[in-house]
Amino acid sequence: MKRFQRPRKKRAWMENPIVLFVGGLLILIIVAQASSAYLRSRTFRNQVANLKGESQQYETDIQELESRIAHLKTAEGVELEARDRLNMKKPGENVVVIIDENEKNQSTEGDDTSWWKRVSTWFPWN
């Protein structure tokens, strides 16, 4: 009897729908993981580049501050800093204050404000 039956075709394992589904799913997972890793590495490279730029900026700031400190250790540097920050003058010098006309006009225009606004400027909650 077996002789007269049609021979059964053996299915190749690659034609099995379950194998195809699982294989496709594995390929999809691998591609997703690879793209995720690539995006993370690109983000890290950008962060490293930004941090290097910040580091170089801090280095230049440090050099500028060190040169300013060295300048302030000299007598000329101390004198200039005292004149700028403390408004000091040498004996025999006169200080001249120049007032801009626009600023003068703006200060007199503010007299039209209400008494409440003038009082409220005295307190820090402004």
The predicted structure's pLDDT at residue 101: 79
pLDDT digits over 37-53, tens only?
999 999 999 999 999 99
CA distance linking residue 50 with residue 61, whole number of Å: 17
Inter-residue contact 30 to 38 (CB < 8 Å): no
CA distance linking residue 11 with residue 15, whole number of Å: 7
pLDDT digits over 112-121, tens only?
667 777 777 7
Q: What percent of the chain has pLDDT over 70?
A: 79
The predicted structure's pLDDT at residue 93: 84
pLDDT band at 10 (very low <50, low <70, confident <90, very high): low
- The DSSP string of 39-88 is HHHHHHHHHHHHHHHHHHHHHHHHHHHHHHHHHHTSHHHHHHHHHHHH--
pLDDT digits over 90-123, tens only?
888 887 778 887 766 665 555 566 777 777 777 7
Q: CA end-to-end span of the chain, whole Å?
A: 106
The predicted structure's pLDDT at residue 68: 93
